[in-house]
Amino acid sequence: MPKIRDIELGDFPLLLAPMEDVSDPPFRALCKRHGADVMYTEFISSEGLIRDAAKSVQKLDIYEYERPIGIQIFGYDIDSMRQATEITEKTHPDIIDINYGCPVKKVACKGAGAGILQDIPKMVKMTAEIVKATDLPVTVKTRLGWDESTKYIVEVAERLQDVGIEAISIHGRTRKQMYKGEADWSLIADVKNNPRMKIPVFGNGDIDSPEKAVEYKNKYGVDGLMIGRASIGYPWIFNEIKHFARTGEHTEKPTVKDRAAAAMEHLEMSVKWKGEVLGVAEMKRHYTNYFKGIAHFKQLRMKLVTSFDLEEIRAILRHIRDHAETFAYSE
């Protein structure tokens, strides 16, 4: 049974990936309820934490019911990352996670996130300093390499373990691939099968169904799966995977009424946590998935993703919930 230090994770843990403007407390609450074993916050800028920037500090909000939870930090300067680690530790997460995987230009091209994959010695040195700066377990999220010619993840994972990380999550693409093409899990398996690796190895990338989750678990032998994009607007994915892994059978899909109720609850939590303007705006990425596969839904979906009027959105969601039986899934 995999553990991060003394944190029990269950037989085959499912982790909610850290996703910018997605993995916030409202969304994490729904994912926890629907079976996520470990969750990570949105990534937090080390420079923002040091400057006490409001958006960065707000992302440190964690709640008891979320545990075990990791706070993820990113940055390019080793001293800033060490200071950010000390600030983060004071909010008492269970884990501090380092983002070495974000491929977005504004992050990677400054040498943070996946950008550090171009400087492995610095990556190892930064990790060692962060481990030294905290008593909490430190984990890493990263990618296979910067591009096709630099997929050194087997060696990199071993070196990071040697300086003290206690788990690693690997996205099966390079930075250059961004989110295109198919994730290559064979190298993730090579990390797991390296006889020198003693820490849990979690795989990430393209897990979008219970069948694929179980297939990849069996084929690649990882200690657990990290789920990202497939959970957006669909927090049920975690329990669906667990049920299928246990029984070989599918749970019943959430009904249209279930989906509308979850979207309504998510919206209200989002508005309460972020305020009306941001709360309404950041929910938009979820609506398409909440109502995916429903026939003749285009007009309502367009209203949901274009309206910034909270009362109008509430009314649309109430209408869907109260008239759920009139909606059908497309074949």
Number of alpha carbons in the 13 Å side-chain half-sphere of residue 272: 9
Extract the tokens encoding 181: 């093409």
Contact 96, 137 (CB under 8 A): yes
Is 102 assigned a catalytic role?
A: yes
Name residues whose C-beta falls within 8 Å of residue 319's C-beta, 6 or more positions apart in sequence. Answer: none
| Burial class of residue 244 in the structure, from the number of CB atoms within 10 Å of its CB (0-12 exposed, 13-18 middle, 19+ buried) | middle
| CA distances from residue 185 to 56, 98, 169, 203, 205 in whole angstroms, order as listed | 32, 21, 12, 7, 8
Query: How many residues does this entry show for the chain?
Result: 331
Residue among 22, 50, 102, 131 flagged as catalytic: 102
Q: Is the dihedral of CA 101, 290, 67, 219 positive or negative?
A: negative
What six digits make up the tokens of 277? 């303007």
The helix/strand/coil state of 56 is: helix
C-alpha 114/C-alpha 176 separation (Å) is: 9
Instruction: Tell me the three state secondary structure of residue 49.
Output: helix
Q: Residue 29 in contact with residue 65, Cβ under 8 Å?
A: yes
Annotated catalytic residues are 102
